[in-house]
Amino acid sequence: MPPERSEVLQGTLDLMILKTLHALGPQHGFGIARRIEQVSEDVLKLNEGTVYTSLLRLQQQRWIVAKWGVSENNRKARYYSITKTGLKQLAIETGNWERISGAITRVLGLQGEQ
């Protein structure tokens, strides 16, 4: 039975896109979305519109840049890459995520009264 797919938690898509670009180098939007789904073992479901909205927001923050290129299908596509400012933000966002997810893990580990 395939795993149940989940929506991406609010505020995490930017972090995952930055990390994907840092790990894999320049990628087009569709490739970024598919790679995140693949790495999540298809637990995460990404809406194309949401991904492109996030890419636009990251560009406005100057955390990524886009250049035109040719995709594997020989089609014109925008390729996104992380900037130096984006690398700094990735470190900040990763630290925040680790702190918050650690706190949530501790709360979920609470034992009930016996």
pLDDT in tens, 27-57: 999 999 999 999 999 999 898 899 999 999 9
Question: What is the value of pTM for the model shown?
Answer: 0.88
Distance CA 15, CA 43 (A): 17
* CATH fold for domain 6-108: Arc Repressor Mutant, subunit A (1.10.10)
**The pLDDT value given to residue 114:** 61
Among 11, 22, 13, 12, which residue's Cα sits nearest to residue 82?
Answer: 22
What does pLDDT average to over the chain? 92
**The pLDDT value given to residue 79:** 97
Distance CA 74, CA 10 (A): 34
Distance CA 55, CA 86 (A): 12
Average pLDDT for 69-81? 93
